[in-house]
């Protein structure tokens, strides 16, 4: 059995018209956080959207269980991503990159609230996610 199977999928019962219902399966927010953490590290270019998604998922209460943290650590070690590289990628989530990538996709009030503080909440969320490896 896959060691991450408990963290992967959750069921959502949806009631429809005329008494019909269905069960929709989706990834858990914890699995999505792991996937975004890996994407942030492994993409060729740093993406502000990955940092925003990490910030959003953490704001929704997503955390990495010990098993998911071990999986992320395996990704870090297997890809030889050192602490300097991780710190550099986090610092590249700057005002210019965020304006370029996020202004067009975020609601104006959400974008403005982040822009006023130079997108520091995004960097902070990502730093917290990798804190044991920085």
Q: Is residue 46 part of a domain?
A: yes
Query: What are the residues facing 15 on neighbouring strands?
Result: 21
Considering the domain boundaries, does residue 19 fall inside one? no
Q: What is the pLDDT, as a whole number, of residue 7?
A: 55
Name the average pLDDT for the chain.
Answer: 89
CA 16/CA 2 separation, integer angstroms: 33
Task: Please spell the DSSP secondary structure of the chain, one letter per residue.
Answer: --TTHHHHEEEEEEE-GGG-EEEEEEE-HHHHHHHHHHHHHHSSS--HHHHHHHHHHHHTT----HHHHHHHHHHHHHTT--HHHHHHHHHT--HHHHHHHHTTTS-HHHHHHHHHTTTHHHHHHHHHHTGGG-
Look up the domain containing 87 and give its range: 28-133
Does the pLDDT at position 4 exceed 70?
A: no
Residue 22 included in any domain: no
> What does the pLDDT read at residue 1?
44
**Percentage of the residues of the chain whose pLDDT score is greater than 70:** 92
- The pTM for the full model equals 0.84
Angle at 1 between CA 131 and CA 8, to 5 degrees: 50
Domain-located, residue 7: no
What's the rounded Cα separation, in Å, for the pair 39 and 4? 17
117 within a domain of the structure (yes/no):
yes
- Residue at 2 is within a domain: no
Nearest to 68 by CA among 35, 42, 25: 35
Tens digits of residue pLDDT in 62-74:
999 999 999 999 9
Lowest mean pLDDT among 33-37, 84-88, 129-133: 129-133
> Would you say residue 58 lies in a domain?
yes
For the chain, the domain total comes to: 1
Question: Which residues neighbour 63 within 8 Å (Cβ) at sequence distance 6 or greater?
Answer: 30, 33
Mean pLDDT (whole number) for 119-130: 96
Residue at 97 is within a domain: yes
């Amino acid at each position: 059995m896959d060691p991450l199977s408990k963290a992967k999928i959750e069921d959502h019962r949806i009631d429809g018209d005329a008494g019909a219902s269905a069960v929709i399966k989706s990834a858990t927010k914890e699995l999505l956080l792991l996937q975004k953490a890996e994407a942030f590290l492994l993409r060729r270019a740093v993406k502000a959207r990955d940092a925003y998604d990490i910030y959003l998922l953490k704001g929704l209460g997503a955390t990495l269980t010990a098993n998911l943290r071990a999986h992320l650590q395996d990704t870090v070690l297997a890809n030889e991503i050192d602490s300097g590289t991780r710190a550099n990628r986090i610092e590249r989530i700057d005002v210019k990159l965020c304006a370029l990538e996020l202004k067009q996709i975020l609601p104006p009030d959400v974008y403005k609230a982040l822009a006023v503080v130079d997108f520091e909440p995004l960097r902070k969320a990502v730093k917290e996610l990798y804190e044991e490896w920085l």
